[in-house]
Chain A
Amino acid sequence: MSEKKKLFLGIMSLTSCEGCQFAILDKFQEFLNVTRRVNLVEMRLLKENNSNQNKDVFDASNISKTKKFDVVFIEGSPITKENIDDLKILRRKAKKIVALGACACLGGIYHLKNYYPRDYLLSQIYPLTSHIDNPLILPLDKIIQIDAYLPGCPVNAAEFFLCLEQLILGKDFVSKNIPVCDECQKNGYECVLQAGEPCLGPITLGGCGAVCLKSKMFCMGCRGLRANPETANLLKILKKQVGAKRLEQILEMFGLKDKIGISPK
């Protein structure tokens, strides 16, 4: 395929742990194979823009020099003013934007900040510092239009490669609407819900291979709610198992509490 016809791809992060990118890079051979079929124009972890290196002031990222992207994967939370500006710039330059990971799709673990008096927390941890942006944590689609979602904390690398494949072929990508229970049962894992654990598997979007259940860890809903979940029954059971306070905390972990409509404390 000629260089010109190859998909112009960008993979980047706002404020994040960059775990989604590392989860993908950990499958390095597969990643290398796919880079041969695209034009990886921006991926800060792997490449820098050296074209202006003979200056005193320059941008080492490839974003500003790239005029157009076909597909951009963005992980992380828009927290600083620069994060938000970058998001808007990318929306203008990119044909398709994919929210990569729980932070981008849902708000992620930093979303927990929203449940606390945020400014109080800031003054507690930074008592002597001023001028720190501390906005409400939002998923990307509250700021710009998002074309596809790759949920999970971190993303499932296999799902990333599947998604990219679809996009290279000019198709859309949507996660299959199955509960985590589907894969959990297919893999023969022990049902921890039946063992008294507060597992959110039945209402959470599957596609992760039920990886937490493999280690007997109850699902905390990092991939978000699946479509048309039957939450009422499950919550009744979970409340009995762990109490209202603990249930609320578990629902807060990845922000499912907001989606279900339980009012914050």
Chain B
Amino acid sequence: MKTIHIKHLGKTEGHGSFLAKLYEGQIKEAKLETLEGVRLMEGILQERLYSDAPIITSRICGICPVVHNLTAISAIENVFNLKVNQNISRLRQIMLLCQIIHSHVMHLTFLSLPDFFDISDDLVFIKKFSVEVNKALTVREWALQGLDLIAGRVVHPINSEVGGFRAAPSLKKLFLWAQNLDNCLQQSLSLFSFIAKIKFYPFSRPTLYLSLEEKNKYAFYGKNKIKLSANKQIAYEKFLNNICELQENGAVVKKVRFLDQPFMVGALARLNNNGLFLHPLAKKSLMSLKLKRPLTNPFYNLLAQAIEVIHCLEELKILLKDIEKIKVNQLHEKVVVGAGMGGAFLEAPRGILYHFYEIDKNGFVRKANIITPTAAFLDNLDYDLKALLAQTDGKTKSKRNLLIKSLIRAYDPCISCATH
């Protein structure tokens, strides 16, 4: 029995290790082990007032608290049958797009790209590629600024709540912030070009790609369907009835399977399912790659993220037009508390996020269930790791280990989210 154990992986959100067991040359097991302790976030929501849920669930993760906050809010508004007005939903869409941008740039610049230059210390990477990194950071800082203005704080959001926003963002500041968008768009195109030059390891495995659906749109706020490919979709109900959360002894993460199959979610999945609906500059970038679609190399998740940053900025350009005309006295709807249950799906940076709440007549949570994108794709990652490991026979241990770590990081796992 041979064991490969890369303990305490760096440059991932949350703690994990890679573990593989081989018996007489055959790979018996290959997986990402999560090392985070049990936090029981779904448990501590019970018996608490509904308004605590967006606050508590933000603390699931330090890189994507905004999407947890927004998903909790959407789910609870579904329970209360509350539909918010255009002013509120527009600001929330802006928040979600900024979340996607800042998370993707963080992942690309600090967690994943250095692998493809065989650099293990980000500070070395930043020095060597200071021009490109500064461009990336310009875009990230702009997105963080937007979140500060609308959400009150990036880690963890304060201003957004069930029913709308507590305080009106400064329209003047939003207008000024919007003026820097075009510059960011330029920087994001540069970032894409930089990534497009990388020769990724040619790996591929037949994979089911899942993402949210919104008619004729590159969906982040979904409507009622889950896309199983560019052309196939199923209702939320059917999806939820056909997934299972796997429990393994000692494991805090519950990996998810759909119809007993592993699947991938995130930028690559969204790109494969919605590529047709990319905005012009993003689409042009995708076409320039001249790659056969759907893209089935998980390393291309980096390209997908870079393309999404461009697309999100183009989408924001539309949403921010005349932003100073938003009606600040209409940023809060009346919340009528009532018993019920409901859920919401949003696309987090890493893929489909689902929150479900059952609430009693006084507004206290009776039950909560949360399915995070990383928990959803970890099983698929394990299958990919097993297949990739099988291809590393002729390589040195160093090269093999780097390849394994690169694949894990290319997926952009958020281990804290997975082990909520």
B-binding residues in A (CB < 8 A): 13-23, 25-26, 28-29, 32, 35, 40, 44-50, 53-61, 63, 77-80, 82-83, 108-110, 112-113, 116, 118, 121-122, 124-134, 153-154, 211-212, 214-217, 220, 246, 249, 253
Contact = CB atoms under 8 A, between A and B. Distances in A.
A100 B121 CA distance: 23
Nearest to A14: B37
A109 B167 contact: no
Contacts of B3: 56-57
Nearest to B56: A109
Nearest to B111: A45
Interface string B108-125: 001100000000111100
Given A127-B247, A217-B158, 19 more contacts: A18-B62, A19-B62, A44-B10, A44-B11, A45-B10, A46-B122, A48-B10, A53-B402, A60-B7, A110-B39, A110-B40, A122-B40, A125-B42, A126-B247, A132-B250, A134-B40, A154-B156, A215-B158, A215-B167
24 contacts: A13-B15, A15-B36, A15-B37, A18-B62, A19-B62, A20-B62, A26-B154, A29-B137, A32-B123, A45-B111, A46-B121, A48-B9, A58-B6, A61-B8, A80-B36, A116-B46, A122-B43, A126-B247, A134-B40, A215-B158, A215-B166, A215-B167, A253-B52, A253-B55
Interface in B6-36: 6-11, 13-15, 35-36
A212 B158 contact: yes
Given A32-B126, A46-B123, A125 B62 contact: no
Given A121-B40, A129-B251, A214-B167, A60 B65 contact: no
A54 B398 CA distance: 4
A228 to B, nearest CB: 28
Contacts of B405: 48, 60
Contacts of A113: 39-40, 43-44
Interface of B: 2-11, 13-15, 35-40, 42-44, 46, 48-49, 52, 55-56, 59-63, 65, 106, 110-111, 120-123, 126, 137, 140-141, 144, 152-156, 158-159, 166-167, 247-252, 254, 396-398, 401-402, 405, 416
B62 A17 contact: yes
A17 B38 contact: no
Nearest to A114: B44
B359 to A, nearest CB: 15
Contacts of B49: 246, 249
B401 A53 contact: yes
Given A47-B120, A121-B43, A132 B38 contact: yes
Nearest to A44: B10
A217 B110 contact: no
Given A23-B62, A125-B40, A56 B5 contact: yes
Contacts of B8: 44, 59-61, 63
A83 B252 CA distance: 14
Contacts of B110: 25, 45-46
Nearest to B417: A17
A130 B247 CA distance: 9
Contact of B4 (A56, A216, A220): A56
B156 A19 contact: yes
Nearest to B17: A60
Contact of A215 (B6, B11, B155, B159): B159
Contacts of B396: 54
Contacts of B154: 23, 26
B7 A217 contact: no
A64 to B, nearest CB: 9
B44 A112 contact: yes
A154 B38 contact: no
Given A57-B3, A126-B247, A47 B152 contact: no
A134 B7 contact: no
Residue from B3, B6, B106 with most neighbouring chain A CB atoms (10 Å): B6
Contacts of A82: 35
B250 A130 contact: yes
Contact of A46 (B11, B15, B40, B137): B11
A78 B38 CA distance: 10
Residue from B9, B120, B144, B402 with most neighbouring chain A CB atoms (10 Å): B120
Contact of B44 (A17, A116, A130, A217): A116
A178 B144 CA distance: 29
A92 B368 CA distance: 41
Nearest to A82: B35
B62 A217 contact: no
Contacts of B144: 26
Contacts of A112: 44, 56
B23 to A, nearest CB: 14
B40 A56 contact: no
A216 to B, nearest CB: 4
Contact of A83 (B37, B159, B401): B37
B22 to A, nearest CB: 10
Nearest to A190: B167
B39 A21 contact: no
Contact of B59 (A17, A28, A57, A122): A17
Contacts of B55: 220, 253
B59 A125 contact: no
Nearest to A84: B37
Nearest to A21: B62
The 3 closest A-B pairs by CB, nearest first: A79-B37, A19-B62, A48-B10
A32 B134 CA distance: 12
Given A54-B398, A216-B166, A124 B416 contact: no
A51 to B, nearest CB: 9
A57 B56 CA distance: 37
Most buried by A among B37, B43, B121, B397: B37
